[in-house]
Amino acid sequence: MVGLFETANLLQKIMDAKWMRHEVLANNIANVDTPNFKRSDVVFEELLQKYLKESNSRLPLKTTSEKHISNLKPTFDLKPEIVMQHDRVLRNDGNNVDIDKEMVELVENTLSYNIMAEQVQRQFSLLRSAITEGRR
């Protein structure tokens, strides 16, 4: 089971990737009329799936002495990557930005970011409840 702090750390990484994707999509939209501009995108979900698959297969260590191997998991290093797409050209000026597609992806990314923000809020609400033992 993933701990509260590891979950918060993971949600932070996801939100950072969503924010980066928002900036990349906004850049694509801003350059929709720039000749020879090539759209970019952020690759993160595949890295996240690989990490989650690996972390579910690990068994937690139990220590009974301070001389045992630490039970702390190493901090995972998930970093989103920006990739430029050269594979298609939509117009004669060499630009490959499809404004409709970019706008849909921007809305989708914004909604996804908002969902992650709600998850972070819930995690901290659980932590607050645990600290105050359910009292207000």
pLDDT in tens, 57-84: 555 556 677 766 554 454 457 789 999 9
CB 123 within 8 Å of CB 4: yes
pLDDT digits (tens, 9 = 90+) for 1-42: 356 667 778 888 899 999 999 999 999 999 999 999 999 999
What was the pLDDT predicted at 75?
47
Task: Say whether 103 sits in a helix, a strand or coil.
Answer: helix
Token reading at 48: 């996240």
Token reading at 56: 């579910």
CB 82 within 8 Å of CB 24: yes
CB 6 within 8 Å of CB 73: yes
CA 111/CA 93 separation, integer angstroms: 32
What was the pLDDT predicted at 52?
77
